[in-house]
């Protein structure tokens, strides 16, 4: 079931970074995301709900100018 909030995402384990593109087109990189949190994000049906519970206001982040890695994505 596609997410109504999140278009795609990618976890970069070497950097501990989770990139998320929202349906709005905005892209954010969340830092120091543990593998267990990223794995949980990839497994849940409600990406938006999980984002609100486990990621939002819990990790430092920056807004990116756009999606920079089209070959390495997971779309919902």
Question: Is 74 a domain residue?
Answer: no
Question: Is 7 a domain residue?
Answer: no
Question: Is 54 a domain residue?
Answer: yes
Instruction: Quick: pLDDT tens for 17-76.
Output: 999 999 999 999 999 999 999 999 999 999 999 999 999 999 999 999 988 765 555 555
Question: Is 9 a domain residue?
Answer: no
Domain that holds residue 52: 34-60
Give the number of domains in the chain: 1
Question: Is 46 a domain residue?
Answer: yes
Q: What is the pLDDT of residue 17?
A: 97
The residue with greater pLDDT, 57 or 3, is: 57
DSSP 8-19: EEEEETTTTEEE
Question: Is 39 a domain residue?
Answer: yes
Question: Is 21 a domain residue?
Answer: no
Instruction: Quick: pLDDT tens for 32-49.
Output: 999 999 999 999 999 999
Question: Is 20 a domain residue?
Answer: no
């Amino acid at each position: 079931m596609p997410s109504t909030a999140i278009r795609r995402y990618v976890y970069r384990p070497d950097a501990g970074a989770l990139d998320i593109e929202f349906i709005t087109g905005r892209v954010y990189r969340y830092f120091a995301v543990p593998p267990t949190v990223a794995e949980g994000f990839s497994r849940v049906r409600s990406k938006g709900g999980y984002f609100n519970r486990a990621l939002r206001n819990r990790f430092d982040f920056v807004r990116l100018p756009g999606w920079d890695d089209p070959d390495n994505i997971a779309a919902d």
